[in-house]
Amino acid sequence: MAQSNPPFMSGVPELLLLRLLNEQEMYGYELVRSIRKVTDEAISLGEGVIYPVLHSLERNGSLKSKRKAVSGRTRVYYKLTRKGRDRLEKLRNDWSRIQGGVASALESGANA
Amino acid sequence: MAQSNPPFMSGVPELLLLRLLNEQEMYGYELVRSIRKVTDEAISLGEGVIYPVLHSLERNGSLKSKRKAVSGRTRVYYKLTRKGRDRLEKLRNDWSRIQGGVASALESGANA
DNA sequence: CGACAATACCTCGAACTAAAAGGTATTTCA
DNA sequence: TGAAATACCTTTTAGTTCGAGGTATTGTCG
């Protein structure tokens, strides 16, 4: 019945989002620019990635949102829930694990 | 016309394979176990991942294969071509870039 | 004032990866 | 003899991410 686990490398956008929102509440458009900035331009996620992840995170209870009107424009601010903090912790560990695995694979042996 | 770049986090299986085959030629079944080992069990890729990647790598000229019969069983040994070494270098850089980006995102700010 | 860039939200479709499960055949070993 | 290990492979499914588009408002510059 071929039920698949999520690809082992995935969840980095989610991790970054949660990481930033754990520090302070932000809105989608802001997060797009923020991610580029805090990753030193190494990672650039478009709105087509950010918004869907934000919505799915809210649906599963990791985020709570609050609309705010700022000078005519509507912003949707997100903040972490308890569940979101747990999720962040889990993703952080997953990442550190695979990061370590790759590092160890790349370092081992003689690097000619 | 929505032509997508590969997902920015992908290519790790490929990276690991190339890394190992750069050190010495190996066959598919061997690589499955080897990856588990050199990543300290952090990453475990099944045959359903390994073989297709191997084939696609060979198709695009990054690998060359050679069948060898060992005590009745047929093994297909792979080794890197010049193009494969270039590809390895590229993937290594990509990885280091995004790895650094994530690290910098996770470290920044006050970790309460 | 008129136009264009920037802000801010959103969704849909395509592309791609990787996962799992299954399939074949041989050999080793209890 | 019969199960487990070796060794190859493919197909189906699931999941993520990507790009491109679409709406509406505000700010800016000529």
Q: Angle between the A82-107 and B28-38 helix axes, to the nearest 10 degrees?
A: 120
Q: What is the rounded (10 degree) CA torsion for A82, A85, A86, A89?
A: -170
Q: Between chains, do B98 and A43 touch, taking CB under 8 Å as contact? A: yes
Per-residue pLDDT at A89: 95
Per-residue pLDDT at B52: 97
Output the distance from A62 CA to D22 C1' rounded to whole Å: 28
Alpha-carbon distance of A89 to B40, in angstroms, equals: 21
Q: Between chains, do A9 and B12 touch, taking CB under 8 Å as contact? A: yes
Alpha-carbon distance of B89 to B66, in angstroms, equals: 24
The ipTM (two decimal places) reads 0.88
Q: Domains, chain B, ranges and CATH? A: 12-83 (1.10.10.10)
Q: Between chains, do A20 and B105 touch, taking CB under 8 Å as contact? A: yes
Q: B69 beta carbon < 7 A from strand D? A: no
Per-residue pLDDT at A73: 93
Q: B11 beta carbon < 7 A from strand C? A: yes
Closest CA to A41 of B102, B4, B56: B102
Q: A9 beta carbon < 7 A from strand C? A: yes
Alpha-carbon distance of A13 to B2, in angstroms, equals: 21
B61, B81 contact by CB (below 8 A): yes
**Per-residue pLDDT tens over the stretch A5-48:** 777 768 999 999 999 999 999 999 999 999 999 999 999 999 99
What counts of helices (H) and strands (E) characterise chain A? 4, 3
Side chain identity at A5, as an amino acid letter?
N
Nearest Cβ partner for B40 among A42, A101, A106: A101
| A79 band by pLDDT with thresholds 50, 70 and 90 | very high
Residues of chain B with pLDDT under 70: 1-4, 108-112
